[in-house]
Structure 1
Amino acid sequence: MATALTRLQAGGFSIGIEAPLDNDWTPRGEQARRIARRLPGEPDLQQHADLARLADRLGFRALWVRDVPVYDPAFGDAAQVFEVFTYLGYLAGITEEILLGTGAVVLPIREPLLTLKSARSVQQLSGDRLLLGVASGDRPVEYPLFGRDFDTRGTRFREQIGLLREGTAARLPQRLEVLPADGPTLPLLVAGLAQQQPAWIGAHMDGCLAYPGTPQEHAHRVAAWRAVAGNKPYASFIHLDLLERADAPLQRWRFGLRGGRNALLAELQAMQAAGVDHIGLQFRRNERPLADTFHEIAEYVLPQFAANA
């Protein structure tokens, strides 16, 4: 039976979507936010369920959600608003095939046993579609709120990875267990280095969630990843504004690009050639309606990478 990790890599390259499913980082989206009196960086989630179902039906490989426990106006991004494991459980109930990934759960500020229980619950309820992206976190303001120390987050990260890997047999009094107990091993993908040495990351993690970049930048990062992790999956993200004209030329910006579907296809092919296994597309800067954009990518782009999936 295929696992979430093997499904992610099936065919050699795959394309997913990153939540929130909104284009609120556009002039029109910003105007709507002000009218609705939502916070800066708070997306409009009225259509998120319909768009998640659509992404599932159209064949996108994974849907990624983020872990932002506290809204910080200095950072200005509420992500998809909903608590990450609660949202994954909801998405598991309204989708059938699409993988469900976190990008990424901040382990050191969470209660380890509850993180284990939450992850196992989503894994089982989704039919083994969970891709558990994890991180050490990079927002110092959050740690005192949870009674955690920012400077020791690397040590806490390693301890929690041990629990997620080994379970609770050596950590709980006899006869106690965290349920659900059975199931496949949790697939762990790391965002960044999580305050660890590359060799440790390569040995203990199942995959890499890399910072957005150009194909040339990813080629160097992929080589470094392969040196410590072998053929474990390497994934990253693109902030996309897909223009209506198919041959609109590529324009780069921070974290992504604007252009027509031909430019997007060329960029994804370059990512594949650089050794990237998966790209998640984020649409917060996308000017067009997201349903139209999803349909166009599914019709013209996904089939180019689906021959061996």
Structure 2
Amino acid sequence: MSSPFSLSDAPVTSLPGFRRMFPRGRMTLGIALPLAAGDPENPGVGIARQVELVQQAEAGGFAAAWLRDIPLRVSDFGDVGQVWDPFTYAGYLAASTSEIALATGAVVLPVRHPLHLAKEAASIDHLSGGRFLLGLATGDRPTEYKAFGLEEGARGDVFREHLDVMNRAWTTENQGIRWSKGRMWGGDIVPKPLATRPPVLTVGSCLQPMEWHREHADAHVTYHRPLGTQQKYLAEWRADGVDKPFAMNIALDLHRDPEAEAGPIKFGWSVGAKALVRILHELEDMGVDHCLLGLKRGSRPADEVLGELIEHVVPEFEATACS
């Protein structure tokens, strides 16, 4: 492992978390936390049980556990998220697991200080042994923007500027950084990442054109769309010869009948295990590299669904250890 005080020239693609999630040539699966279903505003988030389920997912062949970042509980939004701060939680999970990738899906970049965030991400990068991937977004809750002193219309510009500050903090030593809201001179951010930077995943539009994503992201994550529409979106991501990984989120209500055909729910499907495997193979053939499964909209206990996924679905897309 490299020194926390030394710059690295290793590519992000060499990190074990990136390689576990994106082995290329085949698709992997991830699971969203909390592993709870039925009431997104009051999910079951007991740490001990959640860690047990993440360990079960790791042993069962899931490539990644995804941690959401919802800074404030907004009662009229109807989804409190995973409750725990994603970086504190990722550190806890890093000590409780050994192979599964840990990804944020996604940190609301414009409401966080870029120097704090650069230090937090590089710290989890080291503590997890290179299993951390930093998913970033602009957020979708206006209450949060006001609470953190951010104008809603400025989010796109602030997103780009904060990412630029973080990149400079990760890739330079004792060099001044100036941006619209701050100036660092005579200081430095440590630890430095294990690679040139922690892998950066843009999640959703981030209020940027696709050309910007292709240039600045190490991978791109989007939400579920009808297959034909998703294929067109994927083609746009892969334009100009870009071959970076592509991931998508699927809300899942796994039917008790494994033969049940797919029916739509918000951002995903109610579907039996056999039909789900067929859909996932279609996405794999389309060029999707990773599917993140969210169980919060499901009608069955999440631990029960997780067990069935490990038994009937994950073996088709099983991740392997990447040291």
User: Equivalents in 2 of 1:155, 1:106: separation in Å?
Assistant: 13
> Which blocks of at least 5 consecutive residues in structure 1 are unaligned?
26-39
Match 1:292 to one of 286, 304, 308? 304
C-alpha deviations, 1:181-216, integer Å up to 9, x for none? 242121111112212222122101111110222322
Deviation at 1:300, TM superposition (A): 2.2
User: Equivalents in 2 of 1:79, 1:96: separation in Å?
Assistant: 25
- TM-score for the superposition, normalised by structure 1: 0.89
Deviation at 1:295, TM superposition (A): 2.4
Within 5 A, what are the aligned runs for 1:85-100?
Answer: 85-100=87-102
SS, match of residue 276 in structure 1: coil
C-alpha deviations, 1:36-64, integer Å up to 9, x for none? xxxx7121112212111111111100111
Which residue number in structure 2 is paired with residue 32 of structure 1?
none
Match 2:138 to one of 133, 136, 139? 136
Which residue number in structure 1 is paired with residue 293 of structure 2?
281
Within 5 A, what are the aligned runs for 1:65-76?
Answer: 65-76=67-78
Which residue number in structure 2 is paired with residue 170 of structure 1?
176
Deviation at 1:164, TM superposition (A): 2.3
C-alpha deviations, 1:126-178, integer Å up to 9, x for none? 1111111101223222122112222212111111111222226332323x222
> Which blocks of at least 5 consecutive residues in structure 2 are unaligned?
1-13, 178-183
Which residue number in structure 2 is paired with residue 34 of structure 1?
none
Contact 1:203 1:229 in 2 (8 A): no
Is 1:271 matched with 2:275? no
Which residue number in structure 1 is paired with residue 267 of structure 2?
255
Which residue number in structure 2 is paired with residue 23 of structure 1?
37
- Report the residue type matching 1:131 in the other structure: L
Match 1:183 to one of 194, 199, 207? 194
- Report the residue type matching 1:5 in the other structure: F
- TM-score for the superposition, normalised by structure 2: 0.85
SS, match of residue 147 in structure 1: coil
Match 1:237 to one of 235, 249, 260? 249
Bigger Cα displacement from structure 2, 142-151 vs 164-173: 164-173
User: Equivalents in 2 of 1:50, 1:114: separation in Å?
Assistant: 30
**Which aligned segments of 4 or more residues in structure 1 are displaced greater than 3 angstroms?**
306-309
SS, match of residue 155 in structure 2: helix
Match 2:209 to one of 197, 201, 225? 197
Q: Are residues 86 and 275 of structure 1, via their aligned partners in 2, closer, same or farther at CA, if it must alter by over 3 Å?
A: same
Deviation at 1:89, TM superposition (A): 1.2
Question: Which protein has greater RCO, CA pairs closer than 8 Å, 6+ apart?
Answer: 2
Which residue number in structure 1 is paired with residue 104 of structure 2?
102
How many residues matched?
Answer: 294
User: Equivalents in 1 of 2:241, 2:83: separation in Å?
Assistant: 33
User: Equivalents in 2 of 1:164, 1:179: separation in Å?
Assistant: 12
Contact 2:255 2:270 in 1 (8 A): yes
